Amino acid sequence: MLGGILIFLGVLVFLVVIWVIGSYNGVITLRNSVDNAWAQIDVQLTRRHDLIPNLVKTAKGYLTHEKETLENVIKARTQATQATAVKDKQAAENFLTSTLRSLFAVVERYPDLKANQSMLKLHEEITSTENRIAFARQFYNDETMRHNTLIQQFPVNLIASSFNFSNKELFEIEDTSHKEVPEVNL
């Protein structure tokens, strides 16, 4: 009888240990996936940051009266490259996006600059990079949501709190362009 109880308790402890190991490994797998997704965003953000000096250099010759706009783009780029935390990076990238929009709005007023082949190519590359950032951001946010959901669910939350796993922050870039009502000219 005592032998049967000990075997039952041994099997129970073994199952609990297996469950703890499996839960821990599941959280680690998702945490690494979130880190990988963040690395993909960082690659695209770095690509965008690297394009901006060429963009400013190309525009500088044409925009002698728009010095403030160019300085804001450079300032925003500097802030974006120096930000490290997700929240700081998010704010800096939002500022950079708004200054780039201002720059492209100014470029529209200068037909020679707008038709410049270097400017056209840079504009196309930045647009392409923005799309890549959007895809990478979506993947990161999806993985972050999966990670956060897992560590909040019972009983995995017991393992997560025991090993100090915490929620990851979503990366959201404010895009006000989709909120604007499109103008229709008939």
Tens-place pLDDT, residues 4-51: 899 999 999 999 999 999 999 999 999 999 999 999 999 999 999 999
Model confidence at 65, in pLDDT bands (50, 70, 90)?
confident
**pTM for this prediction:** 0.81
Rounded Cα distance between 123 and 118, Å, is 8
Evaluate if residue 104 carries a pLDDT over 50: yes
Cβ neighbours for 134, distance < 8 A, ≥ 6 positions apart: none
Average pLDDT of the segment spanning 47-71: 87
Higher pLDDT, 175 or 17: 17
Identify the CA nearest to 22 among candidates 141, 145, 150.
150
3-class secondary-structure state, position 141: helix
Evaluate if residue 177 carries a pLDDT over 60: no
At 184 the pLDDT is 46
Residue 164, sorted as left (phi over 0), alpha (psi -120 to 50) or beta, turns out to be left
Tens digit of each residue's pLDDT (9 = 90 or more) over 109-121: 888 888 888 888 9
Evaluate if residue 143 carries a pLDDT over 60: yes
